[in-house]
Amino acid sequence: MKARATTVACVLVLAFAAPAVAQEFTMKVGVVVQNDPLHESIKLLKERVEARTNGRVKVEIFPGAQLGGIPQHVQGVLLGTIEGFTTPPAFFKGTDPKFGVTDAPGLFDSIEHGHRTFTDPEFREPFLAAGVAKGVKGISIWNYSPTSYASLTPIRRLDDFRGKKIRVLATPVEIGIMKELGATGIPMDYAETLPALQNHTLDAQRSSIVVMGSSKHYTVTKFITIVQDTMIPCAAMVSVSFLNKLPADLRQAVEAAGKDTEEPMLKIAQDFDSRAEQLWKDNGAEIIHLPEADQAEFMKRARAVGEQVEGGDPATKDLFEVLKRVAERHRKKA
């Protein structure tokens, strides 16, 4: 009996002495596209998060809208049913208008210039934290691509925009830019643009050369004018309810992992952009750049629209001023 009691006591001592098993967490991250920089970014995020957390946070990635469309992803992050969504952050501006400040046109000279501005701590930190009170926080931001105009007929000069029906997003900035050029901005779901171009409901489409290349717009629009009037950043937007569930060390690691992806994503985005130009050329499209004077005038008009929309809104004015100041500081370094 004494021996048995001793054995039981030893077992109990060992049980209490054994280290607790570290809790593990699952982080679902989605994008609505596939085989493009956004897809590459969530693969990289998975790698960096799992490395920094020693596998205690397992990242499951869902490209190609497997978790739903953009509205479903946004709602999922806000409700905490989806842990992360990598996207242009402007899709969260219904949560906080400041997420739309990066739509401001006419501020950047190149992809790198935009990237350096977005990732500068003076802008990055308040921007990514703008939605924390509403349930979302950004953990990374990087510059995806500038805007271009794919058209049925060539746009070689500023006057060539006049009278054209051009697909835009339903934002005051994009509609305002078209108005300044004498064109008509027509908001339309991206999936509907190819048929609309085929039947001449649209004359042109405003988007990224990378995005339009992946959807084979070059089969219909044989001209693409690269203006770079607006940069399109992307951000890993994460559910605050998920972050709050993490122990402090893991939360810090996840946020650091997001930052880890920013510099590699600049190079990936630049590579995709260069390959996209070649893709259009290989498929018989002409790459067009405006003459220097026309380009300068375009940017001047576009910037005036940004000043009116973003600078004129009390909800975005302060952060817009930060964005402009930081962009100017990085202009000579880009």
Which H or E run includes 60?
A: strand 57-62
Angle, helices 121-128/111-119, rounded to nearest 10 degrees: 70
Residue 333 has pLDDT above 90, yes or no: no
- Determine what percent of the chain is predicted with pLDDT higher than 70: 93
**What is the model's pLDDT at position 194?**
94
Q: How far separated are the first and last CA of the chain, in Å rounded? A: 80
Q: Which of 10-24, 69-83, 95-109, 261-275 has the lowest mean pLDDT?
A: 10-24
**What is the model's pLDDT at position 13?**
47
Residue 303 has pLDDT above 80, yes or no: yes
Instruction: Kindly state the tokens that stand for 154.
Output: 């060539």
Residue 158 has pLDDT above 60, yes or no: yes
More confident residue, 127 or 17: 127
This prediction has a pTM of 0.89
CB atoms within 10 A of CB 7: 10
CATH topology of domain 23-333: D-Maltodextrin-Binding Protein; domain 2 (3.40.190)
Rounded to whole angstroms, the Cα distance separating 54 from 113 reads 34
pLDDT one-digit tens code per residue, 196-220: 999 999 999 999 999 999 899 999 9
Q: What average pLDDT does the structure give for the chain?
A: 93
> Per-residue pLDDT averaged across 49-58, rounded?
98
Rounded to whole angstroms, the Cα distance separating 106 from 230 reads 6
pLDDT one-digit tens code per residue, 122-155: 999 999 999 999 999 999 999 999 999 999 999 9
